[in-house]
Structure 1
Amino acid sequence: MRRAQLKFDARRHLSGKYGDALGVAVVTSLIAGALSLALTLGNRWFMPDLKLPFVNGLDGLGGKGPALGDLFQWMDDYLARIRQAWPLIALGILITLSATALYRIFVGNVISVGRERWYLRAAHNDVAPPFSIMFTLFRRGQYGKTVGGMFWVSVWLFIWSSIPAAIFILGLLPSQLVYLHAFLNRTTPTQGLVLRLAKQYGLPLFFFSLPMIAVSLLLAMVMTVVLIRKRYSYRLVPYLLADNPSLGGRRALSLSKAMTRGSLWRLFLLDLSFMGWILLCLMCICFPWVTLHLFAPYYFMTWAEAYKMLRDQASMRGLVRMEELGYVRVS
């Protein structure tokens, strides 16, 4: 896999189609981010207002800052308001998590696959494909299979993502309990407090030690590497479903793992080669969203080229027939 050739082909296929490719990237991003904006505005109904004492009336900017006692008092008041309104807060969190998951499953994933379908078609034609092609997966016969296929992959990604997160949280939880008790009681964390908490929660002292934190961080890092490998081995599923949604999640996932076997490091380096562009876009502090989307068509088209190359190699190796992906053999 030659990155330079993939990027050259991507630029060639974007020639004369960049405006359409940019529109596809922007619309996809807007649809995916619409729910986040709505939930951000809606959360104001569930969470107590957060008014810090040092930003009230510009206190602390030019004069005397708030005393430590004022901060503790503010924290006590805010925690009391949270305890009082916890049913409403819990409802808000439940609605947010449920709406986010459902929107991602039934809309966001389908739009993402539709975006890859547009870029794949653009990479096969001299003219830009119709803009509406990214919405064709919402048709009867394709929508349900696309939703099911992406949901299957999302489940596995969630499982692999949960492992390092659980290790990290559980590994640091005992030490964080010490600091939480010290903060709530306005004392300093001492060995006596550690001994008392270990006895109270029935935990070995090792769980509160620095070696425990080090072991947890090391295991979390190892599982994060495993997670990254899994993400790249599943990376071609949206492209396979874009070619033929009837493949289903199991077959698409199996094909993706087979097609990327031996190429995971090269795919990682392909993403890494774009870091310079991404950092350059982020340097435009005033308009990072705009600059990142100006760069997005180049990135998406390069990945479409990578998929095409791996797909052709898989076909030659007998892993999949092009007819299975929805292509018609020309005699």
Structure 2
Amino acid sequence: MWTCGQLKQRAKYSLANKYWSALLASLIIWGITYGITWLLSIVSSTAMFSSLFPSLLNNSYSYGSYSYGSYYEVSQFFLRMLPTMILTVVMSFLPQFFAFHPLQVGELNWYSRNRETPARPGYQNLFCAFTRTSYWKVVGAMAYRYLFLFLWTLPALVPYALIFVIMAVAQTNASVAFLMPLLLLVVIGLIVLPIIASLRYVFIPWILADNPQIGYRRAMELSKIMTWGQKGHIFGLYWSFFPWYLAVLGATFLTCGFGAVSIIFLIPYLQATYAELYAQCRHNAIQSGQCSLEELGFASPANSQLPPSYPNA
């Protein structure tokens, strides 16, 4: 059984003399993601302003009352704004599926290859998901994972709706107020469901980084296999980085927000540790015969093993 300390020590080993290269790889992904988001926000703001400005000029306002136009004018205003609102929502989701998810897979590919070779991987690995044979399979698999995790969050929303209903009924009938503590316990219990689901399918982007053409069904199945009996340990590994996040939060507070940039310098350490976690769980699945190296895109059995010089391997 692995420990958090062992994975972190291996991550430091894999980053030895390659930390700045890893930071540059993450900065490339971050810069592209931020650039796309910034451009789309400009387009969305421009479309919103172009729809709103003519409406403001054509509306007659009455500052002495609460009436700012007839019902017809208000309805026409919202009808004119509706296409822009739909465009804004669509533009917030499309880049996530068609650009950010493949970029995430590429970044994970870089960190996986980084731990397997003494030399720095090429930065072309960051765009491995954008090939003709891999792109749509990666997009489809990541979209399916996104949809599946979203569906797991829906049960947790039901008690919230019931809480509002009980609060409304309690205004006239106080006898139902005793149900509130019970519903709060149900809410807390149902919050665990999406957490478990996210841990169960946490390795899907890593599996796609190894073999982008593996397909969403097999990727989900392998992720469940690799995380079977490991979810508590994986959650503990994530939680072990909490002091680092507190340090970033403290730096942000002390520097009036500028310290938030320090989170960028933590990314290589985080990703390298998660790469070690995936490699360990992948190794366990291969040793148990539940998947093969060839299925994960490897040509040599040695690629699945930890290098002999790794400490605590």
| TM-score computed with the length of structure 1 as normaliser | 0.76
Match of 1:3 in 2: 4
Give the counterpart letter for 1:174 in structure 2: V
Please, which of 253, 256, 264 is the counterpart of residue 223 of structure 2? Answer: 256
Match of 1:52 in 2: none
Match of 1:326 in 2: 297
Match of 1:221 in 2: 188
Structure 1 residues 230 and 330, CA gap change in structure 2 (3 angstroms): closer
Say if 1:35 and 1:100, in contact at 8 Å, map to a contact too: no
Please, which of 115, 120, 130 is the counterpart of residue 138 of structure 1? Answer: 130
Quote the Cα distance in structure 2 between the aligned partners of 1:85 and 1:34: 32
Quote the Cα distance in structure 2 between the aligned partners of 1:219 and 1:86: 38
Give the counterpart letter for 2:165 in structure 1: P
Quote the Cα distance in structure 1 between the aligned partners of 2:158 and 2:80: 27
**Cα deviations by residue, 1:33-60 (Å, 9 ceiling, x for unpaired):** 34443454434753879xxxxxxxxxxx
Quote the Cα distance in structure 1 between the aligned partners of 2:40 and 2:176: 40
**Percent identity for Structure 1 against Structure 2:** 27
Give the 4+ runs in structure 1 shifted more than 6 A: 80-84
Structure 1: tracts of 5 or more residues without a match: 50-72, 179-189, 196-204
Say if 1:164 and 1:223, in contact at 8 Å, map to a contact too: yes
Structure 1 residues 140 and 283, CA gap change in structure 2 (3 angstroms): same
Match of 1:67 in 2: none
Match of 2:153 in 1: 161
Q: How do residues 70-219 of structure 1 correspond to structure 2 at under 5 angstroms? A: 85-168=77-160, 170-174=161-165, 194-195=171-172, 209-219=176-186
Quote the Cα distance in structure 1 between the aligned partners of 2:74 and 2:298: 57
Deviation at 1:209, TM superposition (A): 4.8
Say if 2:204 and 2:219, in contact at 8 Å, map to a contact too: yes
**Matched residue SS, 1:109:** helix
Match of 2:48 in 1: 46
**Matched residue SS, 1:128:** coil
Deviation at 1:323, TM superposition (A): 1.2
Match of 1:27 in 2: 28
Match of 2:207 in 1: 240
Say if 1:152 and 1:250, in contact at 8 Å, map to a contact too: no
Match of 2:233 in 1: 266
Structure 2: tracts of 5 or more residues without a match: 54-64, 303-313
Quote the Cα distance in structure 1 between the aligned partners of 2:283 and 2:188: 34
Give the counterpart letter for 2:24 in structure 1: G
**Matched residue SS, 1:323:** coil
Please, which of 254, 261, 276 is the counterpart of residue 290 of structure 1? Answer: 261
Quote the Cα distance in structure 2 between the aligned partners of 1:273 and 1:88: 50
Give the counterpart letter for 2:129 in structure 1: L
Structure 1 residues 97 and 212, CA gap change in structure 2 (3 angstroms): farther
Quote the Cα distance in structure 2 between the aligned partners of 1:172 and 1:82: 33
**Cα deviations by residue, 1:168-220 (Å, 9 ceiling, x for unpaired):** 2x1244367x5xxxxxxxxxxx97xx44xxxxxxxxx58x9544443443222
Quote the Cα distance in structure 1 between the aligned partners of 2:177 and 2:19: 53
Say if 2:29 and 2:107, in contact at 8 Å, map to a contact too: yes
**Cα deviations by residue, 1:48-102 (Å, 9 ceiling, x for unpaired):** 79xxxxxxxxxxxxxxxxxxxxxxx99x97xx99877333444333222212222
Quote the Cα distance in structure 2 between the aligned partners of 1:219 and 1:102: 34
